[in-house]
């Protein structure tokens, strides 16, 4: 058997006391798509950053074609034939497509014929691009094409893709798989990171599973069920979320009447004529790919962006022109997507972070001065009630792991027993245990009679918690339909904007 095209052998890398990679080995053959699986924090990112030269390992070697080589920088990685498609795009919004691509080429490469080279790659792999458009004007799917073309233009032999489908509709993902299979047929070695285990089983030839920085298994993913792969990743069985008990659906708690909102800035998305209802005891799931107006919709719902008063009605009160605290006073609670810097302030204590969303409600101020004892007591309640692993209410928010901080910010809102919960990407970047706990809490809140609106990019999650589903595409929302009646391909089409015939026609034309 020939040596593998690329191999990482006995890689160890420590950050302080944390061992991010502990004696990790990984080998990929020509024409192989190799999955790298593991929970958040398992060490996948560190490993591929080492391969791409962004991090130096403390121990271990990298070999190409059986020859050890040192990868001291991304430039050296690219020169050796290693390409990378980042999960959070490493693109420059204000530069054009061609300029973004030129940045990874040697300085001596002529920029004049770059457009032709881009077109050549684009045609060969079915990735159409206009080289002269600025990045900010592109959709998430188009941006990913730029990332991939930028990696391919260097004719890499090894290509790393970090969660490439997290920003794609199911249909777009299928197109991407066709491109990846063509690369595989050309004899390239692909390392593929994903959380979507079904996808990995369909696409990948082999899988290496990391847990807490160590390799726990190397296997053929097709020989395992997704559930079994999940168990390998987590080291234990995660029980499924108990489905909604079908609680009696009550009165309309939240109503949106033709909510429209212009994009706040150049890079934002406008919302168009969004109409929906959420009733007590019901969970409405809003599907959609990142960048289709989710943040803007959340901002409008929370009051961080203002609309016409009548556009948003909570419990019979028109609040579209009111701030977030007026809405909280109507028993509404909000959990934004971003934990750090939006839902919580990393540098502040958990107690201060509780004050952040509760200060306008009664109980925490006495004669205008913060009642530290009451604040502490409320914080301890949340920590205990939601199993937040921390040293106490004085701990700075940034010392908590992602999952624990998310449990805290969700718990902070749920402990109030809200009648309406608006939550955006409830389990983004959270470990499976915490994610299951959060989803369970959402379902139970609805069972107790609250109305819940969940915005998420994760279809599995939405099917787990929702009674009704709809999709947000280019700022338009499809009509909600019962989750049981809507299969994945149907919702996928809606996520791609299939319900806006006019917009679609304009796009194609």
Give the binding site for another protein (CB under 8 A): 16, 49, 53-56, 70, 72-75, 77-78, 86, 89-95, 99, 102-104, 107, 111, 266, 302-304, 323-325, 328, 334, 336, 338, 340-348, 352, 355-357, 359-360, 365, 368-370, 372, 396, 398-399
DSSP symbols for 149-205: HHHHTT--SEEEEESGGGGS-HHHHHHHHHHHHHHHHTT-EEEEE-S-HHHHHHH-S
Cα–Cα distance, 191 to 207 (Å, whole number):
9
CB of 154 to another protein, least distance (A): 12
DSSP symbols for 15-42: ETTEEEEEEEEEEE-TTEEEEEE--TTS
Q: Measured in whole angstroms, how far is the alpha carbon of residue 453 from the centre of its chain?
A: 18
CB of 101 to another protein, least distance (A): 11
In our burial notation (b when 16+ CB lie closer than 10 A, e otherwise), range 362-400 reads eebeeeeeeeeeebbebbeebbeebebebeebebbbeeb
Closer CB to another protein, 52 or 386, in the complex: 52
CB of 421 to another protein, least distance (A): 15
CB of 304 to another protein, least distance (A): 5
φ and ψ at residue 420, rounded to 5 degrees: -140, 130
Which neighbouring-strand residues pair with 134?
A: 96
Token pair, residue 127, equals 């990735």
CB of 486 to another protein, least distance (A): 32
Of 227, 221, 259, 252, nearest to 240 (Cα)?
Answer: 227
Cα–Cα distance, 10 to 60 (Å, whole number):
5
CB of 82 to another protein, least distance (A): 11
Closer CB to another protein, 257 or 322, in the complex: 322
CB of 481 to another protein, least distance (A): 31
Closer CB to another protein, 94 or 174, in the complex: 94
Contact (Cβ atoms closer than 8 angstroms) between residue 167 and residue 291: yes
CB of 220 to another protein, least distance (A): 32
Closer CB to another protein, 56 or 275, in the complex: 56
CB of 65 to another protein, least distance (A): 22
Rounded to 10°, the helix 140-152/114-125 angle is 110
Cα–Cα distance, 421 to 413 (Å, whole number):
8
Closer CB to another protein, 96 or 171, in the complex: 96
Closer CB to another protein, 340 or 417, in the complex: 340
Closer CB to another protein, 84 or 129, in the complex: 84
Closer CB to another protein, 368 or 509, in the complex: 368
Token pair, residue 13, equals 């890398």
Which neighbouring-strand residues pair with 68?
A: 63
Give the Å distances, CA to CA, from 66 to 27, 29, 36, 62, 158.
10, 11, 21, 9, 14
DSSP element (H, E) containing 259: strand 252-261
Closer CB to another protein, 70 or 182, in the complex: 70
């Amino acid at each position: 058997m020939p040596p593998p095209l690329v191999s990482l052998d006995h890689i160890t890398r420590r950050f302080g006391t944390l061992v991010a990679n502990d004696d990790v080995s990984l080998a990929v053959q020509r024409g192989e798509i190799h999955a790298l699986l593991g929970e958040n924090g398992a060490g996948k990112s560190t490993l591929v950053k080492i391969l791409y030269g962004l991090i130096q390992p403390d121990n271990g070697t990298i070999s190409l074609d059986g020859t050890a080589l040192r990868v001291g920088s991304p430039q050296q990685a690219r020169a050796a034939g290693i390409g990378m498609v980042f999960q959070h795009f490493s693109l420059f919004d204000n530069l054009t497509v061609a300029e973004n691509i030129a940045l990874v080429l040697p300085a001596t490469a002529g920029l004049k014929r770059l457009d032709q080279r881009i077109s050549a790659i684009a045609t060969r792999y079915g990735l159409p691009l206009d080289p002269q458009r600025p990045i900010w004007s592109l959709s998430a799917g188009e941006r990913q094409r730029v990332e991939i073309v930028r990696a391919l233009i260097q004719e890499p032999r090894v290509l790393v893709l970090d969660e490439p489908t997290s920003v794609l509709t199911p249909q777009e993902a299928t197109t991407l798989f066709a491109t990846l299979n063509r690369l595989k047929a050309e004899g390239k070695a692909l390392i593929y990171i994903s959380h979507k285990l079904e996808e990995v089983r369909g696409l990948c030839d082999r899988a290496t599973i990391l847990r807490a920085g160590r390799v726990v298994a190397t296997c053929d993913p097709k020989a395992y069920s997704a559930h079994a792969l999940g168990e390998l990743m987590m080291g234990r069985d995660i029980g499924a979320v108990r489905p909604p008990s079908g609680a009696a659906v009550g009165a309309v708690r939240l109503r949106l009447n033709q909510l429209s909102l212009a994009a706040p800035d150049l890079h934002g998305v406008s919302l168009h004529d969004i109409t929906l209802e959420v009733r007590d005891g019901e969970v409405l799931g809003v599907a959609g790919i990142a960048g289709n107006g989710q943040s803007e919709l959340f901002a409008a719902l929370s009051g961080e962006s203002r609309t016409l008063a009548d556009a948003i009605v909570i419990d019979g009160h028109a609040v579209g022109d009111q701030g977030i605290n007026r809405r909280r006073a109507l028993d509404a609670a909000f959990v934004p997507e971003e934990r750090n810097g939006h839902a919580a302030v990393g540098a502040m204590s958990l107690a201060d972070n509780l004050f952040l969303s509760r200060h306008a409600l009664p109980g925490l101020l006495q004669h205008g001065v913060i009642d530290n004892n009451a604040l502490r007591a409320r914080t301890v309640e949340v920590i205990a009630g939601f199993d937040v692993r921390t040293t106490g209410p004085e701990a700075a928010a940034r010392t908590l792991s992602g999952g624990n901080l998310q449990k805290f910010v969700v718990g902070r809102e749920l402990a109030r027993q809200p009648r309406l919960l608006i939550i955006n990407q409830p389990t983004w970047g959270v470990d499976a245990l915490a994610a299951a706990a959060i989803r369970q809490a959402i379902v139970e809140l609805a069972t107790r009679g609250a109305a819940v609106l969940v915005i998420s990019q994760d279809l599995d999650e939405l099917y787990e918690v929702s009674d009704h589903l709809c999709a947000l595409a280019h700022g338009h929302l499809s009509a909600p339909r019962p989750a049981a009646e809507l299969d994945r391909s149907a919702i996928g089409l809606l996520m791609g904007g299939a319900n806006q015939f006019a917009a679609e026609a304009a796009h194609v034309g």
